Amino acid sequence: MPSNLRLLARWAIAVLCHYSGADALYRHVRGPALAILMFHRIRDEPDPYPLSITRAKFMAILRWLRRGNYLTGLDTGLKALATGAPGTRYALTFDDGYRDNLALLEAPEPPPAVVYLATGHIGGDPIWAYRLAGAVAARRNDRIDLEDMALGRWTLDDDRAAADFLNDVVERLKVLPGTMLERSVAAICTRLDPSPAPVEEMMLDWPQAQRLHRAGIEIGAHTVHHAILSRIGDDAAREEVVSSRDTVSRHVAPPRHFAYPNGGTGDFGERDVQLVRSAGFATAVSTLEGVNRPGADPYRLRRHNVHEQRFHSPLRQFSRALFFSETSGILDWLRTRRAA
């Protein structure tokens, strides 16, 4: 089925499930659940990556969750899950530590949330993917030869070509070990020859992280350099976990929650789970999609990735029905039943 028809069918089924009560019945039958939402940035400007959501859409989600009394803190939600309390609850999490997370303080009542900081970037340079995006946007060289890095030759003579370059190169770079990754990014930026431009203060600084903490928002850890733990050795992985914990402790408060960078299958393993556990963290979240049920491993928690391009109807309207039907799990359940 063509992708536009799949989108139309998924949206139509979501609307039917949500407004007919089928989604509510599914939630009741499946029992206690915790849906953890994963955000990165709250900003209205275009984003080269699917990491941002506009303020208006974020505030809409907050209204939906508050209206249904679904919103909870991560700890409270996990306790409710452990005791078998009925209903589906939603917890908010934010990865990396972007300055625009301060928009949380713009809500009439700041919501319970966890902000996971990549501590080596706080008050400093953004994570490498945004540095690369900035160099592409400011490039003075439209033809770039990366054959020596096994990344091909590119002509970046329009916005589409630049976007294709970013998507392809980012996916291929992120599997590299940290030192090699940073060297590769630096080399690519040099070859793009970006024009000098004012540096955007993209990341939170420590006083701003403290402001969030004072408002009741928990500050968690996300390694030091946003290192994909499975790609580095034992000592380096331990340093990334422990140093991020110690830095957050020194500047804010001892963190109880951890997020695995990238967080997908193959990005962390049993060694990394044990490192996080032994470092004293109470939970760790992945980027694996799904709803958490009673008995979920607190060091392998699943989340739903929320960004500007998601939960849209075929007419590009932000869909309440699609948001709730996807995050309850009913759409994936129906898909697996159909496949069976």
Report CA dihedral (314, 318, 321, 323) to the nearest 10 degrees.
110
For residues 96 and 183, state if they share a domain: no
For residue 95, report the phi and psi dihedrals to the nearest 5 degrees. -100, 150
For residues 168 and 218, state if they share a domain: no
Does residue 340 surpass a pLDDT of 60? Answer: no
Q: Residue 82 domain-assigned? A: yes
Three-state SS letters, 142-169: CEEECHHHCCCEEECCCHHHHHHHHHHH
Average pLDDT over residues 174-198: 87
What pLDDT sits at residue 335?
82
Domain that holds residue 137: 128-192
For residues 91 and 237, state if they share a domain: yes
Task: Indicate the residue among 192, 224, 248 that finishes a domain.
Answer: 192
For residues 266 and 299, state if they share a domain: yes
The H or E element spanning position 129 is helix 128-137
Average pLDDT over residues 307-335: 91
For residues 151 and 300, state if they share a domain: no
CA atoms of 71 and 254, how far apart (whole Å): 24
Q: Residue 177 domain-assigned? A: yes
pLDDT single digits (tens) 17-61: 999 999 999 999 999 999 999 999 999 998 888 899 999 999 999
Q: Residue 216 domain-assigned? A: yes
CA atoms of 226 and 223, how far apart (whole Å): 5
| DSSP code per residue over 53-105 | E-HHHHHHHHHHHHHTT-B--HHHHHHHHHHT-SSEEEEEEEEE-BGGGGGGG
What pLDDT sits at residue 76?
97
What pLDDT sits at residue 7?
79
For residues 221 and 295, state if they share a domain: yes
For residues 140 and 249, state if they share a domain: no
Under 8 Å between Cβ of 281 and 292: no
Average pLDDT over residues 205-215: 98
Task: Indicate the residue among 159, 192, 225 that finishes a domain.
Answer: 192
Q: Domains in the chain: how many in total?
A: 2
Q: Residue 149 domain-assigned? A: yes
- Above pLDDT 90, what percent of the chain? 84
Instruction: Give this prediction's pTM.
Output: 0.94
Does residue 260 surpass a pLDDT of 50? Answer: yes
Q: Residue 14 domain-assigned? A: no
Q: Residue 17 domain-assigned? A: no
pLDDT single digits (tens) 115-171: 999 999 999 999 999 999 999 999 999 999 999 999 999 999 998 999 999 999 998
For residues 61 and 186, state if they share a domain: no
For residues 250 and 106, state if they share a domain: yes
Does residue 1 surpass a pLDDT of 50? Answer: no
For residues 224 and 298, state if they share a domain: yes
pLDDT single digits (tens) 270-304: 999 999 999 999 999 999 999 999 999 999 999 99
Average pLDDT over residues 211-236: 96
What is the separation of C-alpha 7 from the centre of its chain, rounded to a whole number of angstroms? 22
What is the separation of C-alpha 35 from the centre of its chain, rounded to a whole number of angstroms? 14
For residues 227 and 288, state if they share a domain: yes
For residues 245 and 276, state if they share a domain: yes
